[in-house]
Structure 1
């Protein structure tokens, strides 16, 4: 049974997340469980997520899910924009609601960090080679 599509292709927030994710070396997009998923060899970001509340799922339509390390997860979990997504939360993923006042530099950093945790060393080397010398 196929999952229903749970996003709007015309969503401007998705457009911004997609631009950030697909700008990374070897990144591609696929639909997984009805949501856009961005990957290289493994998924590094999802658009949209949910949490289970009293036996029902509460959807976070405009959010990005990323894989973070434990220290960063602890820091983010106290932020009212963040949530532990159903199914993926136990594996180190965190959801960040994207609002009008979203700091897109922060979103880019979180997507970059998640990418670095999942992409192969050659892809990460290509990304590092793009970085301007300081």
Structure 2
């Protein structure tokens, strides 16, 4: 991959209402209103892979990891809470990544902010 996937992921996360970025555990992470994390970059954080971790609606992690382990995984630390890991060191469909980022945001954002996405 010629470019850092962080350059593609960052604008997807920051485009959502009232989001911010800061380091968390040494990696870029995105928060709603500076408090609730919805996604985190993982550049060889726990292995030799590049990806990101994101909040996911119930059942999504199991469905995607079971059906496509080349692209999805159960991340350490937050996987037991249903978060989804997405590999970014394989061919990536950035439209799908955008949908996953928005779903992650919806999973943790207050209803008022989620409603902004729907208008």
TM-score of Structure 1 vs Structure 2, range by shorter chain: 0.7 to 0.9
For residue 109 of structure 1, give the secondary structure of its aligned residue in structure 2.
helix
- Residue in structure 1 matched with residue 101 of structure 2 by the alignment: 111
Quote the offset at 1:108 in angstroms: 0.5
Q: Taking structure 1 as reference, are residues 70 and 47 closer, same or farther at Cα in structure 2, changes over 3 Å only?
A: same
Kindly indicate whether the alpha-carbon contact (under 8 Å) linking 1:49 and 1:86 is maintained by their aligned counterparts in 2: no
- Residue in structure 1 matched with residue 83 of structure 2 by the alignment: 93
Distance in 1 between the 2:86 and 2:107 partners? Answer: 18
**Residue segments in structure 2 that go unaligned for 5+ positions in a row:** none
**2:17 paired with 1:25:** yes
Quote the offset at 1:66 in angstroms: 1.0
**2:52 paired with 1:46:** no
For residues 63-99 of structure 1, give each alpha carbon's deviation from its aligned partner in whole angstroms, at most 9, with x where no partner exists.
Answer: 1111112321121112122111111111111111013
* Structure of larger gyration radius: 1
Distance in 2 between the 1:105 and 1:120 partners? Answer: 24
- Residue in structure 2 matched with residue 16 of structure 1 by the alignment: 8
Kindly indicate whether the alpha-carbon contact (under 8 Å) linking 1:64 and 1:97 is maintained by their aligned counterparts in 2: yes
Aligned residues: 113
**Residue segments in structure 1 that go unaligned for 5+ positions in a row:** 1-10, 52-56, 130-134
TM-score, normalised to structure 1, is 0.76
RMSD: 1.8
